[in-house]
Amino acid sequence: MPTVSFTRALERFLAAPTVAVEGATLGAALDAVFAERPALRGYVLDDQGALRRHVAVFVNGQLVRDRDRLTDPVAADDEIHVFQALSGG
Main-chain dihedrals φ then ψ at residue 58, nearest 5 degrees: -120, 140
Is residue 64 helix, strand or coil?
coil
Tell me the pTM: 0.92
Is residue 21 helix, strand or coil?
coil
Torsional sign, CA 15, 33, 9, 75: positive
pLDDT in tens, the chain (89 residues): 999 999 888 878 888 999 999 999 999 999 999 999 999 999 999 999 999 999 999 999 999 999 999 999 999 999 999 998 766 65
Domains assigned to the chain? 3-84 (3.10.20.30)
pLDDT given for residue 88 in this prediction: 60
pLDDT given for residue 5 in this prediction: 96
Strands of 1-89 (E only): list them.
3-6, 19-20, 55-59, 62-63, 79-84
pLDDT given for residue 48 in this prediction: 96
From CA 14, how far away is CA 18, in angstroms rounded? 13
pLDDT given for residue 87 in this prediction: 64
pLDDT given for residue 75 in this prediction: 97
pLDDT given for residue 77 in this prediction: 96
